[in-house]
Amino acid sequence: EFIQSLYYNKLEYARFSSSVGKFVGFTEYGVKNAEYWNKDASLLSNMRAQKETYCQHNIQIKYDNALTKS
């Protein structure tokens, strides 16, 4: 799962989660931004693609390392 959290003054105001597939806001400011970002199809497809870029690339590497050390 790919998660990108956005913080201001140590308070999480919005998050993108690949399992949800969209931005979710946690504060009034975050909800407004999440609504705006979720309307942008190119931004959402970019964020969804980051799961494959960051996570799926490293799955086999982490899996192999865990097996050789156990």
- The pair of three-digit structure tokens given for residue 39, joined into one six-digit string: 């309307």
The predicted model scores a pTM of 0.76
User: Would you state the pLDDT for residue 3?
Assistant: 92
Given this model, what pLDDT does residue 67 score?
A: 76
Q: How far is CA 52 from CA 1, 23, 25, 56, 65, in A?
A: 10, 18, 23, 5, 20
Q: Which CATH architecture describes the domain 3-68? A: Roll (3.10)
| pLDDT at residue number 69 | 66
Domain ranges of the chain: 3-68
Which residues of the chain carry a pLDDT beneath 70?
69-70
H-helix segments, the chain: 28-38, 41-50, 57-69
Contact 26, 12 (CB under 8 A): yes
